[in-house]
Structure 1
Amino acid sequence: MALAFDVAGLTDYLHEIFPQVKDDFSIDAMDEQGLRMRLLTAERHLRPGGTVSGPSMFALADCAIYALILSRLGREALAVTTNCSLDFMRKPVAGADVIAEARLLKLGRVLAVADVLMYSEGLGEPVARASMTYSIPPKR
Structure 2
Amino acid sequence: MALQMNTEELMAFLDREFPQITGEFTIEDLGEMRIRTRMTVSERHLRPGGTISGPSIFALADVSVYLAVLAMIGPVALAVTTNCSIDFMRKPEAGVDLIAECRMLKLGRVLAVGEVLVFSDGMEKPVARASMTYSIPPAG
TM-score normalised by the shorter chain: which range applies? over 0.9
Q: Does the residue aligned with 1:11 lie in a helix, a strand or coil?
A: helix
Count matched residues: 140
Residue identity (%): 59
Q: Is 1:12 equivalent to 2:8 in the alignment?
A: no
- Cα RMSD (Å) of the superposition? 0.9
- Report matched runs for 1:104-115 at 5 Å: 104-115=104-115
Residue type at the aligned position of 1:57:
I
For normalisation by structure 2, the TM-score amounts to 0.96
Q: Does the residue aligned with 1:116 lie in a helix, a strand or coil?
A: strand
Residue type at the aligned position of 1:106:
K
Give 5+ residue unaligned stretches, structure 1.
Answer: none
Q: Does the residue aligned with 1:126 lie in a helix, a strand or coil?
A: coil
- In structure 2, what is the equivalent of residue 99 of structure 1? 99
- Report matched runs for 1:97-136 at 5 Å: 97-136=97-136
Q: Is 1:70 equivalent to 2:73 in the alignment?
A: no
CA contact (8 A) 1:93 1:122 kept: no
Answer with 70-79 or 25-34: which moved more.
25-34
TM-superposed CA distance for 1:21, in Å, is 1.9
Residue type at the aligned position of 2:16:
E
Give 5+ residue unaligned stretches, structure 2.
Answer: none
CA contact (8 A) 2:89 2:127 kept: yes
- In structure 1, what is the equivalent of residue 55 of structure 2? 55
Q: Is 1:3 equivalent to 2:36 in the alignment?
A: no
For normalisation by structure 1, the TM-score amounts to 0.96
